[in-house]
Structure 1
Amino acid sequence: MIYLDNSATTKPQDDVLKAFQTVATKYFANPSSIHRMGGEVEELLEKSRTQIASLLGVDRHEVIYTSGGTESNNLAIKGVAFQYQNRGSHIITSQIEHPSVLEACRHLEKVGYEVTYLPVNRKGEVSVEQLKKVIRKDTILVTLMHVNNEIGSVQPIGEIANVLQDYPKVMFHVDHVQGFGKISIPYNHKGIDLITISGHKIHGLKGSGCLIKKGQVNLMPLQHGGSQEDGYRPGTQNVANAVALAKAMRLSMEDAKNYHQLKSLKQTIINELQSYKKVMINSSETGAHHIINFSVQNFKPEVLIHAFSDEGIVVSTKSACSSRQNEASHVLLACGKAESDASTAVRVSMNNHQTKEDIEAFIQAFRNIMSKYEKIMG
């Protein structure tokens, strides 16, 4: 099987698995314990934290270990909202965010916060000028996804960070889950306050991730207990996961040098799709190289996905978190796509080691599927 669903999850690298297994079996003591074994484990934990901080150019105390993207997003958004509610209750996000951001914002609306959902253009991009217009005196947070997980649109994070530097009381959170190891952002930019990173999207392990919380930011913790992670994320740390995350992040940043190769692979796919009148390409050619979203007229996405599977190709629909829900993509609707296209979308998502042969196999599979489809539809 050729796996082209890397935006949903990735295959863990062997070195990451080895790191996890070694720590889990040899360094299993509680890092908070004061005996020698506990001290050795704590040293490993902090060494990994220092490695992650060094990769990003931030302070080691700014790295908070979490279980992944959803927890990091919730901790950032709700943590800021509750911590700074005396400053205001207005939050700005976009219409095309991941469910872990949208649902967190909707929850806050239920308890008295006001959320502005920025529109996007047909490419799935927010307007920096529009963002400036909606900032208010009571705005406390802007939370935006760097690379969209469904269509690959890329937001101008650096430019937005520059703007928000003029608003020191407005925190800026970036959901960097789909961008890390592919498209970099200025991690140490003073205008960026919080950054979400997930391990299983970068050939790491599920249940691993971190939230970068700059030193000037305080958060109201979502859980209460011990003083682990400076009290922001209490509970016994999963040190094996932390070590594996640091390893995955380092390897992912090294592999980022291969990312530019995906541009030609994406174009090869687009060229093939454009040869069919009944295919609508939903991703912009100027978006991220690793994600291509398209729809086939009158072809249910689940049927198309199963047809690809029969051909030995793994693709998916929208976000894996909501792919089992039979409804149109909120991302594509926000981009102005027709309901018919938004409800029949299929996503191809590559990793940095995808080969030309993989894409040739995908194209041949698509040709086989479309040949059968056209015979049936006439």
Structure 2
Amino acid sequence: MFKTLSRRHFLAGSTAAAGALGLGSRAAFAADPLKVGFVYVGPIGDFGWTHGHDVGRKAVEKEFGDKVETTYVESVPEADSERVIRQLAAAGNKLIFTTSFGYMNPTIKVAKQFPDVKFEHATGFKTAPNVSAYNARFYEGRAVIGTIAGHLTETGKFGYIASFPIPEVVMGINAFILAARKVRPDAEISVVWVNSWFDPGKEADAAKVLIDQGCDVITQHTDSAAPIQTAGARGVWCFGQASDMSSFAPEHHATAILDVWAPYYIARTAAVLDGTWQTTNVWQGMKEGMVEMSPYNERLPAEVVEAAEKVRKGILDGSHHAFTGPINDQTGKERVPAGVTMTDEALLTMDWYVEGVTA
């Protein structure tokens, strides 16, 4: 079973829910299902990031049935997340997934006030005795789509619609152009920052601007399908974000980077149910199944698919890493020597662009 609440109705009813929690006997409480809360930065209908997390929530429901009851609150601004997280904890949720980078500090703060509640924060790096962190190696998928883009482009100009300049996003931009330049050495990527995770209007406008500037491949690190729709309407190749967006541009959606959260959500819920939950901090990718690629567009030439698969399989068997040198930054300064692979610590603090990025 699950409950869905808008922010307004959730906040209005949370006090009553918290009060009702105290009315049951200990025996009744023990028999109650585990209440699991999810906090989403966008709407579940974004067909991207939040949609992917909600697929994971539904998988938890399917796996555990009446043993769990899930609740989600969608479209929660990062600036207002502390209040929503606190209300979920007060309402009796014993496991809470907070699914946006900007929820990190609010999650840590609320966790101190509810030590008996387990918290799981996506894409952050801070942990606590009752807070775990989990992240996906999205950059691995960027290496695959960058390879495809390098083969498809005629102008050598790519457009990238980005949300916020945090390391995760910067890392993705760099991985994309590094892979593309292995195919097309003179390629350049133009970045438009929309300063939002989900704003279809701004995302569509950004795509139009980039295409008008000569970019013949569009990709994104934002959550709506608007860039895909815009690119498809203009006959420009594009890549889905977080979920398969091919239905929005069947002819020009080359593939998508898929975020696969269900196995992690099921495992962490099971750990709370059986009492084995412990604080962890994981960063998983293709090898662990947290990152996958959607089916390749049938219109892609066979040699392009072959090149993409070579990169993907190399990531799986460990023979390929998106950030193995030589790598120079925007100024031409060598940042990573030939044959050296950047450490996870260096990647997670990345605040510089590689050659070929215009941002």
TM-score of the pair, normalised by structure 1: 0.35
Larger relative contact order (Cα-Cα within 8 Å, sequence gap ≥ 6) = 1
TM-score of the pair, normalised by structure 2: 0.36
More strand by share: 2
